[in-house]
Amino acid sequence: MDALILFMHEWLGLVLDVALLGGVFCLWVLWYRNGKRQMQMEQLLIGTAQQLEEASMHLALATTAIEQLKQQENSADIKRAEPDQHMPVAPKVKSNDGDQETYVPPQGSTQATMILRMQREGESEEAIADRLDIPLAQVKLMLKIHATSKHSMKG
């Protein structure tokens, strides 16, 4: 009977040792996986921060362009003799390959004024982006900012 108790005691100790080793191994695996996840998250955060910085730069450029446009429109309103006078249509010139027309902006025009002028002429956002060779998102952003600034000026 004593031998059986001694055997059970040794066997139970062995089972507890194996269970502790298994638990330590599982904890190590969890620690390792969390470390990898943390590194991935940090890389995503770095990428997101870079995108945010780039978007902030584009927003600052767009804000500057909008301010210049407002100043130009204000000065144009003052100079206009007739209230219904329209801005002149910019000429379109065939490119060397002959397939696509290229937009030739009036002298002193900013990108924002060209976008707004082309929109007033009935061009689609995609056509404006293609003709000015700029990203479609930039055209949409400029038009959205202009629309927002028009609403804030009225209100």
Q: Cα 98 to the chain's mean position, in Å?
A: 34
- pLDDT digit string (tens) for 42-64? 999 999 999 989 989 999 999 99
> DSSP per residue over 63-107, as a string?
HHHHHHHHHHHHHHHHH-SSTTPPPPPPPEEE-TTSSSEEE-PPT
What is the structure's pLDDT at 92?
A: 52
Domain residue limits, the chain: 2-80+87-154
Q: In the numeric block, which tokens belong to residue 41?
A: 């998250």
What is the structure's pLDDT at 24?
A: 97
Distance (Å, whole) CA 134 – CA 142: 12
pTM for this model (two decimals): 0.37
Burial profile 72-88: b = 16 or more Cβ within 10 angstroms, e = fewer = eeeeeeeeeeeeeeeee
- pLDDT digit string (tens) for 59-90? 999 999 998 888 888 887 776 644 444 444 44
What is the structure's pLDDT at 97?
A: 53
The angle that helices 111-120 and 2-79 make with each other, rounded to 10 degrees, is: 80
- pLDDT digit string (tens) for 86-122? 444 444 544 455 555 555 555 556 888 889 889 999 9
Q: Cα 19 to the chain's mean position, in Å?
A: 51
> Per mean pLDDT, which range of 28-32, 90-94, 148-152 is the poorest?
90-94
What is the structure's pLDDT at 104?
A: 54
Average pLDDT over residues 5-32: 93
